[in-house]
Structure 1
Amino acid sequence: MYRNILCLALGLIIGIQLTDFLEYFQLTDSQFASTAITQLEEGATPQLATEEELALWLQNETRVLCMVLTLPKNHQSRVRRVKGTWGRRCNKLIFISSQEDRELGVIDVGVPEERNNLYLKMRKALEYVYRNHGEDYDWFLKADDDTFVIMENLRFMLYPYDPEAALYFGHRFRTTFPQGYMSGGAGYVMSRDALRRLNLFAFNNSQFCPINNNSEDRQIGFCLQNVGVVAGDSRDEEGRDRFLPLSLKFMLPTFPTDNWLPKLTFRSDCCAASAISFHYVKDFEFELFEFFLYYLRVFGLHRTPRALPSRLGFRQMNERLQHWSQQVTDNKN
């Protein structure tokens, strides 16, 4: 009798664990549900039939909340264009303004629309997002309403990194503090732990994160550095930029570079084939980017499918963070 009870209990335990195991690999998208995912070993990446299927899988594997800074006068123009193009591919999309619009998903954070208030506006946005969504997503992207973001390439770049590591990515500018800061116009993306540190430690300490009239992106970078968040290197394997802080024509190597960018940026080349963001996008260009990136197909042009990079283990992650920190020290010296 006791043997039967023991066997029944063991069977239930095994059954529950097996169910949890199967649910872990279950895909939510019905189109994707019949595609097998093979995990070769711990840390290995899923092997799928096509890049399109990998991109679909990444939507739920690497979850990104997008915060877009905007103004009331842009609600019916840029907000609608972001919402109708790249914003549709965020896991959650929130617009930050001084006037609420529930239809468009615009949040009023209670900060008057002045350029000197952009940093305070961003602080309020980050406080709101952390309070309401801080544990629901893996990464938190900030962009302007004249930025176009290729979300698939962003997730591809972020996939190897643990969102519980304290780091953030973007186009890094030089400044008076060692690791610099990420361009707000090109957009920057911070991990869940970076957002947590910012809210729990930085915003509650006037030395770590003072309230002032400095530029939004520089000041957020200063606050992040002071709570141990590492500025990651978002360039591709050949050192080419993925986050572009200027209009594409000003970033291309063939275009004259008589602008302010070389004086601020760390050494890099443009532009990565896996580019993530473009800044100073004009209203009509949102639809152009959408058409050329997602609809136009060139007959006969074959590209070799890419596999996802391997997830970084704890030791590998620590080594990479130390490497980036050492780069900052070398640049300072």
Structure 2
Amino acid sequence: MYRNVLCLALGLIIGIRLTDFFEYLQLTETYFGSTAITQLEDEATPQQPTEEELARWLYNETRVLCMVLTMPKNHQSRVKRVKATWGRRCNKLVFISSQEDNELGAIDVGVPEDRNNLYLKMRKALEYVYQNFVEDYDWFLKADDDTFVIMENLRFLLYPYDPEAALYFGHRFRTTYPQGYMSGGAGYVMSRDALRRLNLFAFNNSQFCPINNLSEDRQIGFCLQNVGVVAGDSRDEEGRERFLPMSLKFMLPKFPTTNWLIKLTFYEPANETGSTSGISFHYVKNHEFEMYEFLLYRLRVFGTPLSQRSLPPRLDPKQLQNQLYHWSHENSTNPNAWLN
């Protein structure tokens, strides 16, 4: 009898406590699930990052290895200037030369210096980078030693795209094959998968990627197309080019554009040549490296705050597939259509 009374008493106590506990859960869920959590999230929401903060974050989020083609006679001039200016914003900087220099980061790829050897030199550079760094970086930039690259704008362009997608960007030129190719002087950047396809499939197939003494950028473009790497559109929202195969002065209003550039450019030139989110400039003179560095990273107009940028959303697999399909088919039947 006493045992039954004791069990009944314990059951009532446990039941009351459980009721209190469930009421507490409902109360906390109602409170924290609506007003309180919303307020906390609002209070904890960070302010829009500054350009410097965004640049530091993108540095780790979109990792770029930079390959700069040079030669021994430029080691103490252009190479030093690249390393002291835009090159220090690369995640990894490698100078491709015919003479090793550990202090500058120059490697000897074993190809004699000659303009007719630039394509072979670039192949050796891409083989070296693939063998040593393919899994350590997301994107692989090729530039000349008289090119200046705004790495922040490059990463901003690349951020939405998966480096495991087969694509590359640059200033797109027309040629005899449909996709065209990216200007070597303006610099071009390929994804990890593009670098992988080059080394695993293109360089091991003389039909896909023959060895010859033709221009480096055209031949690399030919090899990339033959292994399914898509040439992306790097123009800004206004259709203005961001990779420039010419010097900065050709961006100035009413400056006459050279005929050879108009004849080669894949897309119809925009009315204004200067993009506010430009990425690269070619034919940079020695003294201009420091000038670009000062104008871009130190000089500020008084009273004009830094613009606040928000990152574009990353493309999901379906969006990326649609984008690659669009790029691979645009103007593929007649890349010279806009000239007619």
Short-chain TM bin: 0.7 to 0.9
- Paired-residue identity, %: 79
1:58 aligns with 2:61: no
1:275 aligns with 2:275: no
Q: Distance between the aligned counterparts of 2:44 and 2:246, measured in 1?
A: 39
Larger Rg: 2
SS of the residue 1:239 aligns to: coil
Aligned residues: 291
Q: Distance between the aligned counterparts of 2:320 and 2:288, measured in 1?
A: 38
Write out aligned runs for 1:285-300 (5 A).
285-300=288-303
SS of the residue 2:323 aligns to: helix
Q: Distance between the aligned counterparts of 2:144 and 2:44, measured in 1?
A: 36
1:311 aligns with 2:328: no
How far did residue 48 of structure 1 move? 4.5
SS of the residue 1:205 aligns to: coil
Counterpart AA for 2:88: R
8 Å contact from structure 2 (residues 262, 269) kept in 1: no
Counterpart AA for 1:312: L
Relative to the length of structure 1, the TM-score reads 0.85
Q: Distance between the aligned counterparts of 2:301 and 2:174, measured in 1?
A: 39
CA offset digits 1:178-227 (Å, max 9, x no partner): 01000000000000000000000000000000000110000000000000
SS of the residue 1:286 aligns to: helix
Give the aligned partner of residue 100 of structure 2.
Answer: 100
How far did residue 330 of structure 1 move? 4.8
Counterpart AA for 2:283: Y
SS of the residue 2:220 aligns to: helix
Write out aligned runs for 1:25-104 (5 A).
48-104=48-104
Structure 1 runs of 4+ off > 3 angstroms?
330-333
Q: Distance between the aligned counterparts of 2:302 and 2:253, measured in 1?
A: 27
Give the aligned partner of residue 320 of structure 1.
Answer: 323
The more displaced of 193-202 and 323-332 is 323-332
Relative to the length of structure 2, the TM-score reads 0.83
Counterpart AA for 1:119: Y
Q: Distance between the aligned counterparts of 1:234 and 1:127, measured in 2?
A: 25
Give the aligned partner of residue 232 of structure 1.
Answer: 232
Write out aligned runs for 1:79-228 (5 A).
79-228=79-228
Q: Distance between the aligned counterparts of 1:145 and 1:228, measured in 2?
A: 29
For the structure 1 residues 47 and 153, does the alpha-carbon distance in structure 2 shift closer, same or farther, using more than 3 Å as the test? farther
The more displaced of 281-290 and 263-272 is 263-272
Q: Which runs of 5+ in 2 are unaligned?
A: 1-42
The more displaced of 58-67 and 48-57 is 48-57
CA offset digits 1:261-293 (Å, max 9, x no partner): 000002233221010000000000000000000
Counterpart AA for 1:280: Y
How far did residue 254 of structure 1 move? 1.1
CA root-mean-square deviation: 1.6
8 Å contact from structure 1 (residues 47, 307) kept in 2: no
CA offset digits 1:146-177 (Å, max 9, x no partner): 00000000000000000000000000000000
